[in-house]
Amino acid sequence: MIKIASIWTYAKTLLSVTHFNARASKWVPYLGVASIICIGFGLIYGLFYAPTDYQQKDAFRIIYVHVPCAILSMMVYSFMAVFSFQYLVWRIKVCDMLAKHCATLGVIFTALALVTGSIWGKPMWGTWWFWDARLTSEFILLFIYLGYLGLRSTITQPSISSKVAAIYALVGLVDIPIIHFSVNWWHTLHQGSTLLQFKTPSIHPDMLYPLLSMLIGFVLYFMTMLIIKVCTEIRLNHARI
């Protein structure tokens, strides 16, 4: 119990405004460089060295952007919900900031997932858009993100805005399992998961490694931008004071 209490005390200290700005900002250069390396390797290897798919030909190469964006769209929302829960329970201001900026980044990843999915769908399905279960639930996720941001900007009182937005984020979390399991629950044109499954990924290693590199690179990019945005807000608020 003593160790758990000590860890919790350290975590709360780390998430205080002063400590987060001082410590997290030091990681930005390392995370940024690592993301550039991973994304650079993934793009070069995936676009020029990975073998051509025997069914989709070179059109499959858009997965190196589409799949990481689709995964990040769900992952970022999950983080946003966790930070929102922490803010509701413990009123940690940094968690509220983290949740807010997760939403701004989540909109980008979700929009990119939808756009790249449409580009991929045109040669595969013969249409830019189809009201497929996964596409539709991902499209709904975009509006959930936008609704969250709109809610925060509409309510002018910060404390009420943060609380209402946090509750909204937790309610919207229901869409995440729907997106992930939609291809199993309903008849859908969208192919099943190749990475997010319990068995061995059903993709050739020469295609898998650059895809994993891109995914790691996108996650590192997300972490870099999240820290930059939160630290910038902390500094701006401190400057106003």
The one-digit pLDDT tens for each residue of the chain (241 residues) are 456 656 666 666 778 888 899 999 999 999 999 999 999 999 999 999 999 988 888 889 999 999 999 999 999 999 999 999 999 999 999 999 999 999 999 999 999 999 999 998 888 888 888 888 899 999 999 999 999 999 999 999 999 999 999 999 999 999 999 998 887 777 666 666 666 554 555 688 899 999 999 999 999 999 999 999 999 999 998 766 4
Select from 241, 240, 237 the least CA-distant residue to 229.
Answer: 237
- Is 20 contained in some domain? no
Surface-to-core class of residue 101, CB atoms within 10 Å of its CB (0-12 exposed, 13-18 middle, 19+ buried): buried
Quick check: is 3 in a domain?
A: no
Supply the CATH number for residue 65's domain: 1.20.120
Total domains present in the chain: 1
136: in domain? yes
What residues are paired with 57 via a beta bridge?
53
In a domain, 101, yes or no: yes
Burial of 93 (0-12, 13-18, 19+ CB in 10 A): middle
Q: CA 232, 235, 239: angle at the middle one, nearest 5?
A: 140
Taking the C-alpha atoms of residue 216 and residue 210, their distance in angstroms, rounded to an integer, is: 10
CA–CA dist 67, 63 (Å, integer): 5
> Of 169, 238, 167, nearest to 16 (Cα)?
238
Backbone angles phi, psi at 196, to 5 degrees: -85, 70
pLDDT value of residue 201: 59
Domain that residue 217 falls in: 25-240
Is 19 domain-assigned? no
- For the stretch 18-29, what's the b/e string if a residue is b when 16 or more beta carbons lie within 10 angstroms of its beta carbon? eebbeebbeeee
d(CA 174, CA 29) in angstroms, rounded, equals: 35
Q: What is the pTM of this model?
A: 0.92
Q: Exposed/middle/buried for 59, CB within 10 Å: 0-12, 13-18, 19+?
A: middle
d(CA 31, CA 62): 24
Radius of gyration of the chain (CA): 20
Q: Is 69 inside a domain boundary? A: yes
6 is a domain residue: no
Helices (H), the chain: 2-14, 17-24, 28-48, 63-90, 93-125, 133-154, 158-172, 175-185, 205-240
